[in-house]
Structure 1
């Protein structure tokens, strides 16, 4: 009996470690993608049912989209006959020969063919400016700001519009169209709306009655009307306030309307960020002797803009998509060039319209998704210091 107890004690001691174990990783099912799926998609019977339904819906949509764009698509041809309904198989998919034939028009509009190198150079210069500003490890980003906000607008205007002194023929903005117009309108609106929005937001919170009244009336008036109304006012009423010889052309009027419209919404976004800053931040800045401009520049505005990054990007994305409304006042942006091309008798088929609109959708998706992903990355980078 004693021997049995001793043997049992020895057996039990064999499982006692002489050293402490270091930290061990959690089970695989508790971390990573598996844990996220279990917690968010398969946690309850209702979640499981919803997951199955959504997955079935996604598969059904992707099956149709992939089938139309790739599997059943027509890739070669010189006219509409290649994209007509097949008599042997089911209806054909996307008509990519149509896109190939009209791609230059989608990109440049009616910009003169011998001068389209100027548009390509503009796209390249714009890409350099965007990368220079957004790439955190880019050298001399201070010069990048100078390049993007001062040098690039001047050079772009000379390139696209023309300047006789350097033997660049003038190209009237009536001939601009497609992606060129969409990018120009979106860039001007995005670049101009944030600084004007910041000024309006500060003006609405100002203690000076006239400044506060002007900012409030402007913001509420612009936000109270649709963008189409603003574009009509900029296109029809703006020329009434300037002499005829100084009357801006239609594209410039659209730029002004879009910039002012976006600025009003941006002002409310920035004001929300300012209201989220605690009173102690203001008191601390004033306690160390900072003036109002320095306090706003170094203390308040950086925090307010960081807080509102998602809303700022949402406004930018909405602005980028709203540029298609300029077709109402006769400006040929990307969507309008698609609309004109789809009724061309050379390519008139049942799938031509869908193909053209699919190209426009892909274009907007790529740019808007890229902006949202960069904003997510920036927000995560700036919030690291607040993680506990």
Structure 2
């Protein structure tokens, strides 16, 4: 046999698959996305071109105004001299008055570290609540944070937050005893006990207790700037969610008295504008407290805003409760769970997942509505702009820069809330896929 006949018929046989080739540029990637979303038809192509032209016109006017801004002058007149007729922003008002925009014009500058520290502690305290993969032991600090923040921001004697903490613990004990009847009875009973302990403890604290305190006291009227908006937003949202849950469950209660009170409260609050409630907090709410009680304006505003947002959250959660099949409650009964266990373990977790978009919508609206306190002489960031800053001789006439700064602050907070809610919806799979 010849040498050529001994060679195999096939020169090479591949024993591994060929690596997948990248798809053509017009079948995937940015080019494909542009074709599908911007130029999928003649109509979409026309709208895309018009939109790009509008964006170009806006940016060509706004970017030079912003990028050519002045940051290092001490007054509007000096800023205009530097600009010399050019159309540009005078951001010097921000570098000159940033502390007043953030903390108000009365809060002592040497105490700026106290609300700043409270803000970062708030992020730590909110972490185990927002991201439930973190260790549950961190919830201990979450429960202590409101009392620590109160002492940091207002200062004074530490006895007040300690008494409030004791009142909350006793209120929780009352809640655990009464919740076996109904959730609403346990919730409102716990609040009543906590409030009673706090009020009695306030009467027992000596009047001169704040004189020897480790942190000097700061009056509520000295709070201002964006710090005030953050305090009102965080406090009122944190209080209105559990109150809204109690109102939603109370509205579905079998007890006629509880149901009637909840229905009247929700419908009345939802039928009254928030600005009206703020005027009530400013003028009339003090008459509902004992004659010798000095309830400051901040607390009265917190009460009214919390009631307002709780009524809307109650309706959102009631919609989530109504969306649950009746079989969920029947399944809880078949397992031998009592009312409190069924609500806590089966009903509420599913209802709250369904209600996440509505609750976030109310929270975002509530945070933006905190700017309404400027109409009752509380100098939040908008009140600072409309009042002391524009009334000053140095910066009278500056508008766009200040309101743009306030808009950016609110956008950052509201956008963060929105993005977190979308992440939470995906994590909890609210569509039940």
Q: TM-score scaled to structure 1, two decimals?
A: 0.86
Q: 296, 300, 311: which is aligned to 1:249?
A: 296
Shift of 1:277: 0.9
* Distance (Å, rounded) in 1 between the aligned partners of 2:286 and 2:430: 50
Structure 1: tracts of 5 or more residues without a match: 1-16
- 1:7 matched residue in structure 2: none
1:76–1:82: 8 Å Cα contact kept in structure 2?
no
Change (3 A) 1:43 1:129: same
Q: 96, 99, 108: which is aligned to 2:91?
A: 96
Count of residues in Structure 1 that have an aligned counterpart in Structure 2? 364
- 1:308 matched residue in structure 2: 355
* Distance (Å, rounded) in 2 between the aligned partners of 1:114 and 1:184: 20
2:389–2:396: 8 Å Cα contact kept in structure 1?
no
Change (3 A) 1:29 1:320: farther
- 2:121 matched residue in structure 1: 125
- Is 2:343 the counterpart of 1:347? no
* Distance (Å, rounded) in 2 between the aligned partners of 1:107 and 1:341: 13
**What secondary structure sits across from 1:285 in the alignment?**
helix
* Distance (Å, rounded) in 1 between the aligned partners of 2:45 and 2:377: 50
Change (3 A) 1:92 1:68: closer
**What secondary structure sits across from 1:235 in the alignment?**
helix
Structure 2: tracts of 5 or more residues without a match: 1-13, 157-209
- Is 2:223 the counterpart of 1:176? yes
Shift of 1:84: 1.7
2:71–2:95: 8 Å Cα contact kept in structure 1?
no
- Is 2:149 the counterpart of 1:156? yes
RMSD in angstroms over aligned alpha carbons?
A: 2.6
Superposition pairs of residues 352-371 of structure 1, within 5 angstroms: 352-371=398-417
Change (3 A) 1:167 1:53: same
**What secondary structure sits across from 2:243 in the alignment?**
helix
- Is 2:269 the counterpart of 1:222? yes
Shift of 1:242: 1.1
Q: 286, 289, 292: which is aligned to 2:339?
A: 292
Superposition pairs of residues 1-388 of structure 1, within 5 angstroms: 34-69=31-66, 71-84=67-80, 89-93=85-89, 95-109=90-104, 110-138=106-134, 140=135, 142-148=136-142, 150-163=143-156, 164=210, 165-339=212-386, 340-349=388-397, 352-383=398-429, 386-387=432-433
**What secondary structure sits across from 1:159 in the alignment?**
helix
* Distance (Å, rounded) in 2 between the aligned partners of 1:36 and 1:370: 27
1:84–1:92: 8 Å Cα contact kept in structure 2?
no
2:74–2:394: 8 Å Cα contact kept in structure 1?
no
2:65–2:87: 8 Å Cα contact kept in structure 1?
no
* Distance (Å, rounded) in 2 between the aligned partners of 1:297 and 1:88: 66
